[in-house]
Amino acid sequence: MNILFFGPNGSGKGTQGAIVKDKYNAAHIESGAIFRDNIKGGTELGKQAKEYIDKGELVPDEITIPMILDRLKQDDCKVGWLLDGFPRNKNQAIKLDEALKAENMSLDIVVEILLDRQIAKDRIMGRRLCANDNNHPNNIFIDAIKPDGDKCRVCGGDLSKRADDQDEGAIDKRHGIYYDADTGTLAAAYYFKDLAAQGGSIKYITLDGAADIKSVTAELISKL
Ligand code: AP5
């Protein structure tokens, strides 16, 4: 099964994506995580990406598009993939659609998580990352997933903050890009929604992202 995940930054794409990955054994490809691994490793790609990520801007398409399209050709994607964080603008959506057609690859499901901008912002600012698994849910502002002191509530691992999660101006910029339905991320989502409406094989589903994690997962699984 090949799946695209859309949702405002902080809506739970990573959280739900990790659950779907485990359930369907799909390769979970997170563009943001690929950039962060490269920043951590001090690679040339990481140095270039950091400049944009710190400001809340998109990494340029010339860097991001080939990176993701190459990743989709790797062996682990043959059993299915889940793209989280790509495409993020209309141009990326068009290039992805063209590449899938050229490679004879199907797109089965498109998921759009719906969430109010202020709730998404609060979730980003309270997010804490576990050293053992970034997708272990830990958030200092949400009682149900509050960390155990400064340790991960799932495994006791050390917690850290993402640098781009604490700058309100950069978060507003990221959300401005997401909610832009003309050329931004919602435009990318609606590009596939239109294809689904035209009667293709794509199934387009929406989820109520304001519910708790288990309820969002239950809605997702029931609609897949
Ligand atoms: P990226 O890594 O995608 O970061 P992001 O924009 O912050 O979005 P996330 O995907 O991290 O948030 P999420 O929706 O996964 O939320 P999460 O599950 O953690 O991108 C980083 C940067 O890389 C971008 O700004 C850009 O510069 C660059 N980039 C990436 N892709 C690019 C592309 N295609 N083109 C160009 N540049 C690109 O959840 C958030 C918090 O809420 C967590 O604490 C979680 O535990 C909690 N939570 C989740 N669900 C719930 C729930 N239902 N109830 C309560 N709490 C919840």
Residue 176 carries which side chain, given as an amino acid letter?
G
pLDDT confidence of residue 23: 86
Blockwise average pLDDT, block size 10, the chain, 224 residues: 95 92 91 93 95 94 94 93 97 95 93 96 95 94 93 97 90 96 98 93 96 95 92
Q: Which CATH class is domain 2-115+171-223?
A: alpha beta
What is the residue extent of each domain of the chain? Answer: 2-115+171-223
Q: 2: which residues sit within 8 A by CB, 6+ positions away?
A: 26, 80, 81, 82, 105, 106, 107, 108, 109
- The β-bridge relationship of strands 27-30 and 81-84 is parallel
- The β-bridge relationship of strands 129-130 and 159-160 is antiparallel
Q: How many residues does the chain have?
A: 224
What's the pTM? 0.92
What is the token pair recorded at 71? Answer: 């990743």
Q: How far apart are CA 132 and CA 223, in angstroms?
A: 30
* Ligand 1 pocket, mutate which of 114, 123, 172 (most atoms under 8 A from CB): 123
Phi, psi of 129 (to 5 degrees): -105, 130
pLDDT confidence of residue 163: 83
Contact (CB, 8 A) for 149 and 140 = no
Residue 29 sits at the vertex; the CA angle it makes with 57 and 132, to the nearest 5 degrees, is 95
Pocket (CB within 6 angstroms of ligand 1): 7, 9-15, 31-33, 35, 52-53, 56-59, 64, 85-86, 88, 92, 123-124, 127, 137, 139, 142, 145, 174, 211-213, 216
